[in-house]
Chains A and B, each alone.
Chain A
Amino acid sequence: MASSSRPFMRALARSTVRTPKLSACEPLDITDIPPTPITHLSETEALMKDQVSKFASEVILPKSREMDEAEKMDPEIIEQCFEQGLMGIEIPEEYGGAGMNFTAAIVAIEELARVDPSVSVMTDVHNTLVNTAILKYGSEKTKKDWLPQLATNTIGSFCLSEPISGSDAFALKTRATKQPDGSYLLSGSKMWITNSLEAGFFLVFANLDPSAGYKGISAFLLPRDTPGFAIAKKEKKLGIKASSTCVITLDDVHLPASALLGREGEGYKYAIGLLNEGRIGIAAQMTGLALGAWENAARYVWNDRRQFGKLVGEFQGMQHQLAQAYTEIQAARGLVYNAARKKEAGEEFVADAAMAKLFSSQVAGRVSGSAIEWMGGMGFVREGLAEKYWRDSKIGAIYEGTSNIQLTTIAKLLQKEYTG
Chain B
Amino acid sequence: MSGLRILVPVKRVIDYAVKPRVNKSQTAIETTGVKHSLNPFDELSIEEAIRLRERALPVSDILALSAGPAKSADVLRTAMAMGADRSIHVQVDTEKEGDLEPLTVAKLLAKVVAEEDRNVVILGKQSIDDDAHQTGQMLAGLLGWSQATQASKVEVEKEGSTVTVKREVDGGTETLRAKLPIVITTDLRLNEPRYASLPNIMKAKKKPMIKKTMEDYGIDIKRRFKTVKVVEPAPRQGGGKVEDVDGMIGKLKELGAL
Contacts and interface: CB of A to CB of B under 8 A. Distances in A.
A100 B199 CA distance: 8
B150 interface: no
A97 B199 contact: yes
A98 B199 contact: yes
Most buried by B among A44, A86, A89, A93: A44
A284 B203 CA distance: 26
Contacts of A100: 198, 201-202
A93 B74 contact: no
A140 interface: no
Interface residues of B, number: 15
B205 A51 contact: no
A93 B202 contact: yes
Nearest to A48: B201
A314 interface: no
Interface in B171-203: 195-203
B201 A51 contact: yes
Contacts of B199: 85, 88, 93, 96-99
Interface in B63-103: 74, 77-78, 81
A51 B81 contact: yes
B37 interface: yes
A83 interface: yes
Nearest to A82: B197
B126 to A, nearest CB: 21
B201 A47 contact: yes
A132 to B, nearest CB: 16
A114 B77 CA distance: 24
A99 B197 contact: no
B195 A44 contact: no
A10 interface: no
A213 B124 CA distance: 66
Interface size on A, as a range, is 20 to 34
B34 to A, nearest CB: 15
Contacts of A47: 74, 77-78, 81, 196, 201
A54 interface: yes
Interface string A4-48: 000000000000000000000000000000000000000110111
A44 B202 contact: yes
Given A55-B195, A84-B195, A84-B197, A50 B37 contact: yes
Contacts of A52: 195
Contacts of A86: 198
Most buried by A among B196, B198, B200: B198
Contacts of B202: 44, 93, 98-100
Given A44-B202, A93-B202, A98-B201, A51 B77 contact: no
Interface in A59-111: 59, 83-86, 88-89, 93, 96-100, 104, 108
B198 A48 contact: yes
Given A93-B202, A99-B202, A54 B195 contact: yes
Nearest to B200: A85
Contacts of A99: 199, 202
B198 A98 contact: yes
Interface in B88-124: none
A48 B199 CA distance: 10
Contacts of A96: 199
B205 A44 contact: yes
Interface string B188-228: 00000001111111110100000000000000000000000
Contacts of A108: 198
Contacts of A51: 78, 81, 195-197, 201
A262 B78 CA distance: 39
Contacts of A89: 198
A262 B210 CA distance: 46
A24 to B, nearest CB: 12
A74 to B, nearest CB: 17
A306 to B, nearest CB: 13
Most buried by B among A54, A59, A85: A85
11 contacts: A47-B81, A51-B78, A51-B197, A52-B195, A84-B198, A85-B199, A85-B201, A88-B198, A89-B198, A98-B201, A98-B202
Given A54-B195, A86-B198, 9 more contacts: A47-B196, A48-B201, A52-B195, A85-B198, A85-B201, A93-B202, A93-B203, A97-B199, A99-B199
